[in-house]
Chains A and B, each alone.
Chain A
Amino acid sequence: MTIEHYIFLAIAIFCIGVAGVLTRRNVIIVFMCIELMLNAVNLLLVAFSKMHHLAGKAVNASAGIDGQLFVFFIMVVAAAEVTVGLAIIVMMFRNTHSVDINFLNRLKH
């Protein structure tokens, strides 16, 4: 597969994520869409890193390997972020008895 396939897939996932964030009101789905955008970027990073490795392995056996490693870190950090985000959503539900983001306009007043 050429790099273009990966890029198109990543763009597709990212746009689904953006559309979801913009249109949905359920905070959990918004959250999932954010994760989709994050993982689209992650996928792109892995893909570029692999292409880099294929192009440069003749010279340097470990070329592009740090991109692969970096993705793991991103996934770990994203997992931590998800827990914080979910905790916030739980607190929000306790306070407003709703998961509709349009209820979150209280700061306005």
Chain B
Amino acid sequence: MNELIYLVPLLPLAGFLLNGLLRNHLSKSVTGIIGCGVLLGSFILSMLLFWQVKEGNIAVVSLFDFISVGKLSIPFSFQVDQLSSLFLLIITGVGFLIHIYSTAYMQEESPAHFARYFSYLNLFVFSMLLLVMGANYVIMFIGWEGVGLCSYLLIGYWFKNQDYNNAAKKAFVMNRIGDLGFLIAIFWMIGQFGTVNFAEVFEAAPAASAMVLTGITLLLFVGATGKSAQIPLYTWLPDAMAGPTPVSALIHAATMVTAGIYMIARSNILYTLAPVSQAVVAITGLATAVLAATIALKQHDIKKVLAYSTVSQLGYMFLGLGVGSYVGAVFHVMTHAFFKALLFLGAGSVIHALHHEQDIRNMGGLKSKLPVTHATFLIACIAIAGIPPFSGFFSKDEILAASFSVNKVYWVIGVLTAGLTAFYMFRVYATTFLGKFRGTEEQLHHIKESPGAMTIPLIILAVLSIAGGWIGFPEVMMNNGHALGDFLTPIFAESARLKTLHAADHQTEWLLIGVSTLIAIVGSVIAWRRYSRKVDMEERTAAARLFANKWYVDELYTNGIVKPINSFGNWLYNFVERQIIDSLVNGAGRFVHYGGRQVRWIQSGQVGSYVLLMVLGILVFFVIQFFVK
């Protein structure tokens, strides 16, 4: 089986090359079959690998020497263990469903663009697989850069629209800022440990000083904030909605944003040894969760709401990582992949039915028109709101329970955010599917349920959104009910040994579960009642305006960072470049030109004068020789 490991990322790469190079010659159906087929192949291989890992066979396969300089040796190696095999399943499984969905969603595109879309999609999955399979930080970084590139390509997929191009550039630049942190962390690791292989770094880590570990982990976290959209680098993710909706689903659920979570979960030992970094991670995550949730309350674009909810849920995951509940964070990645993919694909189905209408103020009453989309979207809303027994409840509860044991304030804010989450999700649900239709007559006439290629992935994801949480029952509900936790034990064993989370006693835990569930239900019911009859989208209070304008963070960045840098750049151009450097360069040229003109008369062309000068020159040398001696 180990010799098949390299096939897992190779298949999507092959799909990328085939679709990309032959995009002008393949028909849409062939493109779709290639694009989905390679993912299906990867998914089947991932399942085989998962089965193997489940039986206890962990594999580190070194394909070839990637970099070998002096004492530093970086092999191109893949590691398949509990954590990466789980991510492989999520990426290829959810990715496959999104590919299937895309074949119907992108049907209006011309064959060449259709193939371009699928080749990018395959490259995206390839990069993500590289990221999670790499057995050292350098291979991870290659995948890390790859997903950044692919997000740029896919967000700017409709490249004729300049706004979309700007959104793509924004995503790329924001990611690059984070990547710099990751890169410096890798260099620091090489300097400190002399290796970047996971196993060797983690083995050497306890001997390093706390200062160094804190520095490295904070720099890694800077990388994670860029990729996983945390404060202060989160603003690219809502703008990334410029891409086609399945791409949003792919970015938000299966790939890209989970990279930061994966990286920190992978480096859990380093973080456990650096409590300062852990606190930074937890507080940043919590702040992001609250901030994004408040913004999501007041957005009108259905995809924007979902985007901010992703940012908020990612904040939850970082909270989990920060309080040391690595299993909870990974668990939430998994359940979030199911219901967020479902939400985006459902939103895509609505947008598809309404011919690219994204404003929820112009929707409503779609319940009867789009029955499958409606049912699955409702399931996803319940799941993300954290109402038992849907999947989101279990993962969110695990993170909240862990944060309660670390700091009660974390728990209070976390639970309130969960209430906000429930509120804004049901606000979207109610305005979209309940009440009366508010669009044009023509739209109403054309609404029909999406084809099977779109609804079947929705149904599969809906089942997963319901049942996905049942692999991680909390201890109070069922003894040894946490199959996922047991499975992941080897990965986090060292961290668990260094720092045990003190679980609250059973009564307290039941109470916590009760409170969080109650708040989620209350939030849902309020939103349902408020938005199902009428649409009241006026922002009357100052707070509402603040939320609707996204806390003016974009404006703050524009005025505080972008404009000063632009004016600094202009100053450099107008003064340093044009006045100093240009005049230096031109001056050198002018000096040579002028000097040449002045001594030109010496070159008379008269042989006699040359000889005379030569003799004079020799005489001068003689005289010098004579007097110097």
Q: For residue A102, which residues in chain B have a CB less than 8 angstroms away from its CB? A: 606-608
Q: Quick one: given A18-B615, A22-B615, are A101 and B605 in contact (CB under 8 Å)?
A: no
CB distance from A28 to the nearest CB of B (A): 14
Number of B interface residues at 8 Å Cβ cutoff, please give it.
9
B611 and A21 within 8 A (CB): yes
Report if A76 contacts B (CB, 8 A).
Answer: no
A108 and B603 within 8 A (CB): yes
Report if B162 contacts A (CB, 8 A).
Answer: no
Report if A57 contacts B (CB, 8 A).
Answer: no
Number of A interface residues at 8 Å Cβ cutoff, please give it.
12
Query: Chain A residue with minimal CB distance to B619?
Result: A18
Query: What's the Cα separation between A106 and B607 when bound, in Å?
Result: 11
Q: For residue B606, which residues in chain A have a CB less than 8 angstroms away from its CB? A: 102, 105
Query: What's the Cα separation between A101 and B603 when bound, in Å?
Result: 15
CB distance from B604 to the nearest CB of A (A): 7
Report if B612 contacts A (CB, 8 A).
Answer: yes
Binary per-residue interface labels of chain B (459-473) against chain A in the complex, 1 for a CB within 8 Å, 0 otherwise: 000000000000000
Within 8 A of B (CB), among A60-109: 101-102, 104-109
Report if A52 contacts B (CB, 8 A).
Answer: no
Q: For residue A107, which residues in chain B have a CB less than 8 angstroms away from its CB? A: 605
Q: For residue A101, which residues in chain B have a CB less than 8 angstroms away from its CB? A: 607-608
From B604, B605, B611, contact of A22 by CB (8 A):
B611
Query: Chain B residue with minimal CB distance to A109?
Result: B605
A105 and B604 within 8 A (CB): yes
- By secondary structure, the B interface counts as helix
Q: For residue B603, which residues in chain A have a CB less than 8 angstroms away from its CB? A: 108
Within 8 A of A (CB), among B569-615: 603-608, 611-612, 615
B605 and A108 within 8 A (CB): yes
Query: Chain B residue with minimal CB distance to A102?
Result: B606
From B604, B605, B608, B615, contact of A25 by CB (8 A):
B608
Query: What's the Cα separation between A18 and B613 when bound, in Å?
Result: 12
B612 and A22 within 8 A (CB): yes
Query: What's the Cα separation between A109 and B611 when bound, in Å?
Result: 20
Q: For residue A105, which residues in chain B have a CB less than 8 angstroms away from its CB? A: 604-607
B607 and A108 within 8 A (CB): no
CB distance from A78 to the nearest CB of B (A): 19
Q: For residue B604, which residues in chain A have a CB less than 8 angstroms away from its CB? A: 105, 108
Q: For residue A108, which residues in chain B have a CB less than 8 angstroms away from its CB? A: 603-605
Query: What's the Cα separation between A101 and B607 when bound, in Å?
Result: 7
Query: What's the Cα separation between A105 and B603 when bound, in Å?
Result: 10
Q: For residue B612, which residues in chain A have a CB less than 8 angstroms away from its CB? A: 22
Query: What's the Cα separation between A22 and B607 when bound, in Å?
Result: 9
Query: Chain B residue with minimal CB distance to A27?
Result: B607
Query: What's the Cα separation between A102 and B604 when bound, in Å?
Result: 11
Within 8 A of A (CB), among B351-374: none
CB distance from B622 to the nearest CB of A (A): 12
Chain B residues at the A interface, C-beta cutoff of 8 Å = 603-608, 611-612, 615
Chain A residues at the B interface, C-beta cutoff of 8 Å = 18, 21-22, 25, 101-102, 104-109
Residue contacts A-B, CB under 8 angstroms, 18 given: A22-B608, A22-B611, A22-B612, A22-B615, A102-B606, A102-B608, A104-B605, A104-B607, A105-B604, A105-B605, A105-B606, A105-B607, A106-B605, A107-B605, A108-B603, A108-B604, A108-B605, A109-B605
Which 6 A/B pairs are nearest by Cβ-Cβ distance?
A105-B605, A108-B605, A101-B607, A21-B611, A104-B607, A22-B612
